[in-house]
A and B are shown apart, each in its own frame.
Chain A
Amino acid sequence: MTVKPAGYQAVTLSEERTGDFETKLMRINVGPQHPSTHGVLRLVVDLDGERIARISPVIGYLHTGFEKTMEHRTYQQVVTYSNRMDYVHSFGHDLAYVLSAEQLMAARVPERAQRIRVILTELNRIASHLVFFGTGILDMGALTLFFYTMREREQLLDIFESVTGVRMNFGYFRVGGLYQDVPESFEHDVRAFIRSFPKMLDQYSALFAKNDIFVNRTTGVGVIPAERALEDGLTGPSLRASGVPLDFRKAQPYSGYEDYDFDVPVSTAGDAHARFEVRFQEMRESLKIVEQALDRLEPGPVRDPDRRISLPPRSELETSMEAVIFHFKLVTEGFHPPRGSAYVATESARGELGYYLVSDGGSMPYRVKVRVPSLVNLQSLESACVGGLFADMVVNIATMDPVMGDVDK
């Protein structure tokens, strides 16, 4: 018996079922409110016994219309919205947006700002992967690691709080630089994290990487071959777990990533275990980048001195009429990039992330298209799940690491 719904390949039922019996697929609804779906992801799953015959994600529960809103905000204001999409890797979204806007404006970002951006983005990548590990393994029934990873993430969130004032939705990057310089305690805090974190990674490794239950639970589960991954548009750590070494930090370096010495972990297995492993290695690489960037962090300005983009210093406002005019223009109206479009691909914790901006010469973007990794990556769920056990679906969702804000925009 074959089933041919629109949009999916025909599924042949397993052999023991062809005979005199007539069998039907069982349709099961998962979510949208379900802990293993990491937010509000709904899946309509057709089961052939214990095996998945078809899986269809239903999304949009978190659709917020960010793109439309951004079209009605000035370029500087958009930073408030960009980080709310992927709330787990917020700095990644902020960075992707400001890079595109800076390309349009031809802004020159000071070196110190670039380094701080890289440090924060990489620390945030670690924090994001920590959430991935904690919740991913939680989904498989292991509770302990969640507390471990949340403990380390707390340390990172404290650093972010000391820098930006908030623990989520930072909005700290600006087109042309940063909102302000980092506090004095920043270097000390980050150094303390760099010292303590490798030991924690070893602990995690002892907790799960050498754990038979975990290894057996993930090895060979949800295998996505490289061709299949490219067909589905998969990017990020999940693609690298399938053996394609694409990392935009290496492929098209931005924000000075070409200065840092780091490796891109790749695995060829393509299964859930490889997706865990690649992200685990990535945390060590991110730490390397943070350390190098911190070593090279020199004092200096953190904003493009160009008055077309950046507000004048507060002290000048009392003495210079010109500064007041620039301040007024920037606050009430914002700046006007020349007509054209820009796209900078960045490597978020989930994959290729870029903002395609179209400028019509006005002070608000004419069109903002966010290339979100989670939405496109979600298409690979079918490749990973179909033919596998229903219980493995949870593992597959966890290792795809979708953030629903990033999926629904």
Chain B
Amino acid sequence: MTTEGAAAPLGPLSERVVEALGALGGRLEREPFEVRVVLPARVIVDAVRTARAAGFDLLSDVFAIDWLRYPGHQGPRFSVDYNLYSIEHGERLFLRVDVDEDEPVPSITGAWKAATFLEREVYDMFGLRFSGHPDLRKIHTPEDLEGHPLRKDFPLGETPTLFNDGRFLDPAAFRAGMIGASGGLTGWVGGARKGVVAEQVDPAPAAPRPGATRGDEGER
């Protein structure tokens, strides 16, 4: 996070809010294109309330960044960013809290309902827990997917996956199927497609149960 060149301008509203957040322990970071206040996690709800009362009336976004592979990064592994916008003043302000993996972040849903889905998304994608969130469930990924896909150590295309209906996706077999080295999941081996059923290398995977979808939300 270098700050080369000119820093983003600090509008009058942002200036006031940054000063107020300074009292909460906020540290101003000015990057070329964004104004950001880094805060301790425990004050984030107060900080959001302060900014909202001062005039930042739109919560655009809540998202996380996994700094695991960022060259030269020091400090906690994750950061959670809050993207605020003031409609009247046309200013944008980012709030950031740095957190470690097992450190819960106070949920701002009490201060701003718009964060409900966004915090669920962060929870789903990064596995960060939000304390006080009324409905912290996965939002995008299937119920039976283990792990949090947007973490930097989440392997791409290498996840053994066990589906609800008992089908098991083994990465090695899947890859072999993809490159035509074995029948894989589809039973197709390159060059033997037309009417010829290729020899199954793996035991035939159980056929998907018709109508089997995701976990039943009705039970929760």
Contacts and interface: CB of A to CB of B under 8 A. Distances in A.
A90 B68 CA distance: 32
Contact of B66 (A352, A367, A409): A367
A83 to B, nearest CB: 19
B60 A341 contact: no
Interface in B62-108: 63, 65-66, 69-71, 81, 83, 85, 87, 90, 92
A131 interface: no
Nearest to B113: A231
A317 B87 CA distance: 49
Given A360-B70, A371-B61, A63 B140 contact: yes
B53 interface: no
A60 B140 contact: yes
A376 B117 contact: yes
Nearest to B31: A340
B57 to A, nearest CB: 5
Nearest to A235: B58
Given A341-B31, A408-B140, A371 B1 contact: no
Contacts of A246: 58, 87
A356 B31 contact: no
B9 to A, nearest CB: 12
B41 interface: no
Contact of A230 (B57, B81, B138): B57
Interface in A229-266: 230-233, 235, 244, 246, 251-252
B139 A369 contact: no
Contacts of B2: 338-340
Given A244-B87, A342-B33, A371 B60 contact: yes
A354 B61 CA distance: 10
A369 B126 CA distance: 13
B135 A7 contact: yes
Interface string A270-306: 0000000000000000000000000000000000000
Nearest to B87: A246
A34 interface: no
A244 B60 CA distance: 15
Contacts of B116: 7, 379
Nearest to B115: A233
Nearest to B154: A68
Contact of A343 (B34, B121, B214): B34
Interface string A387-409: 00000000000000000000011
Contacts of B121: 375
Nearest to B36: A341
Contacts of B58: 230, 233, 235, 246, 352
Interface in A334-371: 338-343, 345, 352, 354, 356, 358, 360-361, 366-367, 369, 371
B33 A103 contact: yes
B1 A339 contact: yes
Contacts of A68: 149-150, 154, 156
Interface string A4-21: 001110000000000000
A338 B4 contact: yes
Contacts of B214: 60
A158 interface: no
A192 interface: no
B119 to A, nearest CB: 12
A44 B134 contact: no
A378 interface: yes
B32 interface: yes
Contacts of A65: 149
Contacts of A307: none
B140 A376 contact: no
B150 A67 contact: yes
B190 interface: no
A58 interface: yes
A101 B34 CA distance: 14
Interface of B: 1-4, 31-34, 57-61, 63, 65-66, 69-71, 81, 83, 85, 87, 90, 92, 112-118, 121, 125, 134-135, 138-142, 149-150, 154, 156, 214, 217-218
A-B pairs, top 9 by smallest CB distance, nearest first, are A233-B114, A7-B135, A7-B134, A63-B140, A369-B63, A60-B140, A371-B61, A342-B33, A246-B87
26 contacts: A6-B135, A8-B134, A44-B217, A44-B218, A59-B140, A60-B139, A60-B140, A60-B214, A63-B140, A65-B149, A68-B156, A230-B57, A230-B58, A233-B58, A251-B90, A340-B2, A341-B34, A342-B34, A343-B34, A343-B83, A352-B58, A352-B60, A366-B70, A367-B66, A371-B61, A378-B117
Given A63-B140, A360-B70, A409-B140, 20 more contacts: A6-B134, A27-B218, A60-B139, A60-B141, A60-B214, A103-B33, A231-B112, A233-B114, A246-B58, A246-B87, A338-B2, A340-B32, A342-B33, A343-B33, A343-B83, A345-B60, A354-B61, A367-B65, A369-B65, A408-B140
